[in-house]
Amino acid sequence: MSVRMLIVDAVQNAKAGHPGMALGMAEVGYHLCRHVMRYNPKNPKWFNRDRFVLSAGHGCLLQYACLHLAGIQSVQTNCSYFFMTGPLGQGVANAVDFALAEAHLSARFNKPDAVVVDHRTNPAFSPFQVKTLIGKLSRKEGTSKAHHGTFDEDDYQSMKEKVKWNDREPFHVWPMSDAVDATRGYSEKCLSHLVKVLPGLIGGSADLASSNKVYLKGYKDFQSHSPEGRNIRYGVREHAMAAISNGIAWHGSGLIPFAATFLVFSDYMKNAMRLSALSHAGVVYVMTHDSIGLGEDGPTHQPVEHLCGLRAIPWMLVFRPADGNETAGAYRVAIRNREAPSVIALSRQKVLANLEGTSSDGVEASGYIVSDNSGDGGLPEIILIGTGSELCLCEASAEELRNEGWGVRVVSLVCWRLFDAQSKGLET
Which positions are annotated as active-site residues? 238
Quote the CA–CA distance of 216 and 201 in Å, as a whole number: 10
The residues with which 318 forms a beta bridge, in sequence order, are: 343
Contacts of 93 (CB under 8 A, 6+ apart): none
Cβ(100)–Cβ(93) below 8 Å: no
Q: Could you tell me the CA-to-CA distances from 203 to 248, 255, 289, 408 in Å, in that order?
A: 9, 10, 19, 42
DSSP helix/strand/coil, 256: strand
Quote the CA–CA distance of 401 and 405 in Å, as a whole number: 7
Q: In 3D, which of 31, 22, 28 has the Cα closest to residue 4? A: 22
Cβ(371)–Cβ(357) below 8 Å: yes
Half-sphere exposure of 44 (CA within 13 A, CB side): 17
Contacts of 301 (CB under 8 A, 6+ apart): 57, 86, 87, 262, 264, 289, 294
Q: What are phi and psi of 85, to 5 degrees?
A: -95, 160
The residues with which 258 forms a beta bridge, in sequence order, are: 203, 284
